[in-house]
Amino acid sequence: MPDTISSDIDKMIRKIIFHSLKENGFSKTRRRTAWGWHDDCIWVFHIKAVGHFHSSITHWPSASLTVNLGIYYPYLPHIKEAKKDKNGLMYPKEYECNRRAELTCSYDQLKYTEFVNCNSSEKKRRDIWWIQPDGSNISEVINDINNRFLEHAVKWFGEKSNKELALQEAGKLKGFHIEKIDI
């Protein structure tokens, strides 16, 4: 992914998405990740480019983005404890969270994928936001991610942060649980 496209994506994330995150329970941002510390859990929001390997297999541009959410319950067992800063504040990675979810794109991306040489299920994916190789649709993508966060993820974080519910569901789940947030 060209550095200028990555840099443009990062600027838009800081300008639009991180502002919304800070208004909705997140207090620390670093690169493409944000954390929010709450009474009984830690919220994690992570944006990731699909990268060159995924791109070489699926033909989605390497700058295309996925958005993963997580809730880390410090009182539940973990394979590995989250890293802490010098003050003891935990910074879990999204994949270390007990509860995880993916945001999905709200618009039809076939205008981008229809001419790509890949299987039909790849062309219909909604868990990835297509970023044009020239970066011409970065604004559209970042605004859609921001809207999906505000419309769906804020509610999801609020509903899934309840300690009693987390303890109750922890007994039912085997391993990690990933939900698709698609309403």
Tokens for 115, please give them: 């001419």
Task: Spell out where the chain has E strands.
Answer: 28-30, 33-37, 42-49, 65-72, 83-84, 90-91, 99-103, 177-181
Q: pLDDT for 41-54, tens place per residue? A: 999 999 999 988 98
Q: How confident is the model at residue 37 (pLDDT cuts 50, 70, 90)?
A: very high
- The domains of the chain are located at 3-181
Q: Which amino acid is at 178?
A: I
pTM of the model: 0.88
